[in-house]
Each structure stands twice: as structure tokens, then as C-alpha cells.
Amino acid sequence: MQKHIVVTLKLIQEEYLNEVRSHMRTPEGKESLTAEEIEILGSFITANVFGGAWAAMDNYGTGSRMALDNPALDDYMKSELWNPARKDIARRGRREGEYTDIFGAKKDSTGIMEGLDLEKMARQGKLPPSFLPTPPSRAIETAAAWMKNGRIQRIWRESLATFPWGMFFIVTAD
């Protein structure tokens, strides 16, 4: 029975992953999503989908257009990854020196544009469009709502209907 449950959870996991990807706006966001291995801990079974920084930026947006209800935003803003020259949520130039970007890579800044609004400069054509802010896709929440709105229940019903119950019951006559 556990094997049948694992197969069903894998099906739900893959469908959720595909649904999230279908709502993402960036190829990087889609590619950073992965279906984790199904974990069995006693009678508890988990099926997770993991997304990296690209998935988070796609889902919650970037710069001045990012969603402020991102549950990880406060921690991010308090971390060493947040640009200290960024007093609001607009993308701004960094001070001179080494810093760690959102992907964990070490980078160097000349400091020439420290504090300048990079989004505004991109709108004026002074910087490439990659500096423009992006709105949130809400792909994760949209897919979760769709799955919760009956799709998961239908998958479980189909799974129960195809389970070989006869293998687990012995019928005797008295």
C-alpha cells in the first residue's frame, strides 16, 4: 500500500511542479524548480518541490515591483545579501568593495553608482533592461490554489479506485 501512496504522491508532486512552471514568467525561475525525492519517515511521507533564488524572484517579483508579502523578505532585508545602499526596494548601486549576491557568489563593486536608482536608469536606456523591476508571477500560490481546489482530491480518488484492494482482504463464509 505504501508503494501505491508513494506513486500517487509522486504524481501529485509532478503535476504541481508542472503547474508552477506553467505560470512562471522566466526560464530561470522554471529551471530552478526541482521535485525532491519522496521521503518516508515511519508513517509520514513527504513530497516536496524546491525552488531557488530564481524561482523566488519570479514568484515574488524584483525591485520596486516586488511583492511585500514575501514571507522571506524581512529576513533577506536583514541579511548580508541585502544592499546597504538600498533604503527602499528599488534596485540601487552598491558601495565599493566585495559583496555576496543573492546566489551566494562573491562580486566586486566599483562604487561608482552607489545609491543610484538603477531601475530609473534602465527606464531611461542608460542601463540594460535586466535592471528593470519585475512584477510577481504568483506562480507558486496560483498552482497551490488550483491543486487544493479539487485536483488533489481527484487524483486521490483515482488512486483509491485503482488500488488492488482484493489482495488485502480474505473473504470467508461462516
Task: Identify the band that residue 166 occupies on the pLDDT scale cut at 50, 70 and 90.
Answer: low
**Domain count of the chain?**
2
Same domain, 101 and 129: yes
* Confidence (pLDDT) at 134: 97
Same domain, 92 and 120: yes
Same domain, 51 and 37: yes
pLDDT tens digit string along 18-56? 999 999 999 999 999 999 998 888 888 888 999 999 999
Same domain, 102 and 91: yes
CB of 61 within 8 A of CB of 135? yes
Write 42-51 long-range contacts (CB < 8 A, 24+): 45/2, 45/5, 45/6, 45/9, 47/9, 47/10, 47/12, 47/13, 48/13, 49/13, 49/16, 49/17, 49/20, 51/20, 51/140
Same domain, 113 and 147: no
Same domain, 53 and 83: no
Q: Which domain holds residue 89?
A: 63-135
* Confidence (pLDDT) at 140: 95
Cell of 141: 500560490
Find all residues with CB under 8 Å of 70, minimum gap 6, and list them: 56, 60, 76
Same domain, 13 and 50: yes
pLDDT tens digit string along 144-160? 998 888 777 887 778 77
Cell of 26: 522566466
pLDDT tens digit string along 91-145? 999 999 999 999 999 999 999 999 999 999 999 999 999 999 999 999 999 999 9
Q: What is the mean pLDDT of the chain?
A: 91
Same domain, 32 and 91: no
Calculated CA dihedral for residues 116, 117, 121, 124, nearest 10 degrees: -130
